[in-house]
Amino acid sequence: MYRYSVDNAITYTSEDFVLFRESPFACWMERLNLENPDHGIPADVGSSAPD
């Protein structure tokens, strides 16, 4: 998932659909992080940054 800089539209990738299928909450958190990176919710300890 990434934001297109020209028109600010969110573009979804095939990995995003797989993530949604596996965990809708994880997909929601990825979108929250994209739309509002200063949301104040810390990442889980030991987790890696999303690709």
Query: Quick one: pLDDT at residue 27?
Result: 87
Q: What is the model's pLDDT at position 31?
A: 85
What are the domain boundaries of the chain? Answer: 2-35
CA–CA separation, 14 and 37 (whole Å):
22
What confidence score (pLDDT) does residue 21 get?
Answer: 92
pLDDT in tens, the chain (51 residues): 777 767 878 888 898 889 889 999 888 888 888 887 777 777 777 777 665
The enclosing H or E element of 15 equals: helix 14-22
